[in-house]
Amino acid sequence: MTVYQGGLLEVTSVRKRFGGLHVFNDISFTIPPGEVLGIIGPNGAGKTTLINVICGMLAPSAGSVRLDGREMTGMPLHAVSRAGIIRSFQQTNTFRAATVRENISRAVRFSGGGEDTWATIAPLVDEFELYPQLDEQSDKLPYGLQKMLGLILAFAVRPKVLLLDEPAAGLERRERMRVDSFVRHAQTQLGCGVLIVEHDMDLVRRLCPKILVLDSGRVLAEGTPDDVLSRKDVIDAYLGTADEEAA
């Protein structure tokens, strides 16, 4: 089975404003191939906007995004996707009227993949119990399976970097464990870097050796989950409410 090679994501001093609203300022981090970075922070902290800036949906007001040293800043979404930076959505990202199989085929075609790509996807389709649903229209699937399909579609384009916006939101405990499998699979099969935005602190602890806390548009803390999640300023800014949400 083919094993692919991910890319180095470098985010340098990015800033985003909407008119007078400063969403974030001077955010920098790198994600080497095969590594996972968690980003947490209260509602409205700017996490989704940051993903939108990295994937090319929005232009940053300042700063740069590079993939393997290549400037992505200012490139449109489709060009950044082609280069290998792929996002999943906080909701779902399937072509709703198409079947599960058609959705996956489109994603495979997008990246010029073929049988070898299907072979890397098949274990996920099996594990997520999507085989019986291959000819089902994707918007008829239960919510949890739609989210899993969204992850598989992101995987199917063989990204170099994956940006996951709340992959576990709205899922039951058993389904959340599938997100773990998915991320491990992306690391080992694609070698890709993964950015995970999540409110589920158990998932963050399991999957992210390093995390970054966004608060009021800046990086409040970064480091290992053990170090960061025990800090009083982080608990005050965020954790009291986050654990309630994830429960």
- How many residues bind Mg ion (CB under 5 A)? The answer is 2
185: partner contacted, choices ligand ATP, Mg ion, none (Cβ within 5-8 A by kind): none
**In the complex, least distance from residue 45 CB atom to Mg ion, rounded to whole angstroms:** 8
Give the nearer residue to ligand ATP in terms of CB position, either 17 or 106: 17
Strand order in the sheet with 70-71: 21-31, 9-18, 62-67, 70-71
Q: Is residue 94 a contact residue for Mg ion (CB under 5 A)?
A: no
The string over 194-210, giving b where at least 16 C-beta atoms fall within 10 Å of a residue's C-beta and e elsewhere, is bbbbbbbbebbeebbeb
Structure tokens at 87: 């996002």
**The Cα angle at residue 173 between residues 170 and 177, in degrees rounded to 5:** 105
Binding-residue pattern over the window 9 to 48 for Mg ion, x denoting contact by CB under 5 A:
--------------------------------------xx
The answer to whether the CB of 54 falls within 8 A of the CB of 85 is: yes
Which entry of Mg ion, ligand ATP, none binds 74, CB below 5 to 8 A by partner kind?
none
- Residue 15 Cβ vs ligand ATP, minimum distance, rounded to whole Å: 13
Judged by CB under 6 A, the chain residues 32 through 71 that form the site for ligand ATP are: 41, 43-49
Strand order in the sheet with 193-197: 85-87, 161-165, 193-197, 36-40, 210-215, 218-223
Pattern 76-115, binding to ligand ATP, x per CB under 6 A? ----------------------------------------
Q: Which residues pair with 137 in a beta bridge?
A: 99
18 binds ligand ATP (CB under 6 A): yes
Q: Which of residues 44-63 bind Mg ion (CB under 5 A)?
A: 47-48
Give the CA count within 13 Å in the CB-facing half-sphere of 238. Answer: 26
Tell me which of Mg ion, ligand ATP, none is bound by residue 157, counting a contact when its beta carbon lies within the kind-specific cut-off of 5 to 8 angstroms. none
Minimum CB separation from ligand ATP for residue 200, in Å?
12
**d(Cα 201, Cα 42) in Å, to the nearest integer?**
12
Query: What is the spatial distance between Cα 39 and Cα 51, in angstroms, rounded to a whole number?
Result: 10
143 interface partner picked from Mg ion, ligand ATP, none, CB below 5 to 8 A per type: none
Note the residues at the interface with ligand ATP (CB under 6 A). Answer: 18, 21, 23, 41, 43-49
Give the footprint of Mg ion on this chain (CB under 5 A): 47-48
